[in-house]
């Protein structure tokens, strides 16, 4: 049974603890290592690996410490080059080529973000549960079947963003970057509608913007759309 714990989920830092009861993983390490240790009850030797989507600091801030702890970190070649750390525990993986960590089979896939070579990850365990992890992207071109858990960015609402620009609280230039780098509530809905949700147990909405989101609105609308449990960490 998959268990998910969000240690942090915002533009300040992102980090998630995922386990199927056999193989604990880190998804991202964008917070202070001390906070990651607390999230794992200081039992870091149990962590089988860390998946990193891209090179921005709010997703890989503690990478050096995670490597020092003896944890293999998996990322694209583009991300590894952009981070610029040479270490034997940095494992470069290719999109569409599955690899295994313990009881997980993991499929990296390309997403759209304003960085070198960003990935999302599909994690499948021995029980057949499927977890989709996708953050910091404005579009996912792939469709997935049999998902049981979805962790997806829902950074902003176009309606809220446009109102903030009208009010002058958000500069208009910000809109272009968001449109080309982050997942909006509207696009998340389209993505969910395009995919098979028949086995989905829970949906996590990640990485909400401090100023261009509404946690209650997002949760209610995705619950109404899908009929599934929705969490906003």
Q: How far is CA 228 from the centre of its chain?
A: 19
Report how far residue 160's alpha carbon sits from residue 190's, in angstroms, rounded to the nearest whole number. 18
Q: Looking at residue 7, which CATH number applies to its domain?
A: 3.60.15.10
How does pLDDT run across 99-127, given as a tens digit for each residue? 999 999 999 999 987 778 999 999 999 99
| Neighbouring residues of 216: CB distance < 8 A, sequence distance ≥ 6 | none
Residue 35 structural domain: 3-231
Residue 187 and residue 225 in contact, taking contact as beta carbons nearer than 8 Å: no
Phi–psi pair at 30, nearest 5 degrees: -95, 25
| Neighbouring residues of 114: CB distance < 8 A, sequence distance ≥ 6 | 177, 180, 181
Structure tokens that stand for 164 in this block: 């903030």
Count structural domains, the chain. 1
Residue 216 and residue 193 in contact, taking contact as beta carbons nearer than 8 Å: no
Residue 7 and residue 31 in contact, taking contact as beta carbons nearer than 8 Å: yes
Report how far residue 48's alpha carbon sits from residue 189's, in angstroms, rounded to the nearest whole number. 33
How does pLDDT run across 33-44, given as a tens digit for each residue? 999 999 999 999
How does pLDDT run across 166-193, given as a tens digit for each residue? 888 888 877 777 777 789 999 999 999 9
**pTM, whole model, 2 decimals?**
0.94
């Amino acid at each position: 049974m998959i268990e998910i714990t969000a240690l942090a989920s915002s533009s300040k830092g992102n980090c998630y603890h995922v386990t199927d009861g056999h193989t604990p993983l880190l998804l991202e390490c964008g917070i202070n290592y001390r906070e990651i240790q607390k999230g794992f009850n200081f039992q870091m030797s149990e962590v089988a690996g860390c998946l990193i989507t891209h090179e921005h600091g709010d997703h890989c801030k503690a990478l050096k410490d995670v490597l020092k702890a003896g944890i293999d970190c998996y990322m694209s070649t583009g991300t590894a080059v952009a981070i610029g750390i040479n270490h034997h525990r940095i494992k470069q993986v290719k999109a569409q080529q599955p690899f295994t960590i313990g009881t997980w089979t993991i499929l990296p896939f390309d997403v759209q973000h304003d960085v070198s070579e960003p990935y999302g990850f599909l994690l499948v365990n021995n029980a057949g549960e499927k977890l989709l992890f996708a953050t910091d992207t404005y579009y996912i071109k792939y469709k997935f079947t049999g998902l049981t858990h979805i962790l997806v960015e829902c950074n902003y609402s176009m309606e809220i963003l446009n109102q903030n620009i009208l009010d002058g609280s958000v500069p208009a230039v910000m809109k272009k970057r968001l449109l080309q780098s982050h997942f909006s509530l509207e696009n998340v809905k389209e993505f969910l509608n395009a995919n098979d949700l028949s086995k989905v147990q829970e949906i996590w909405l990640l990485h909400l913007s401090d100023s261009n989101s509404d946690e209650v609105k997002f949760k209610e609308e995705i619950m109404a759309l899908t009929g599934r449990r929705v969490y906003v960490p």
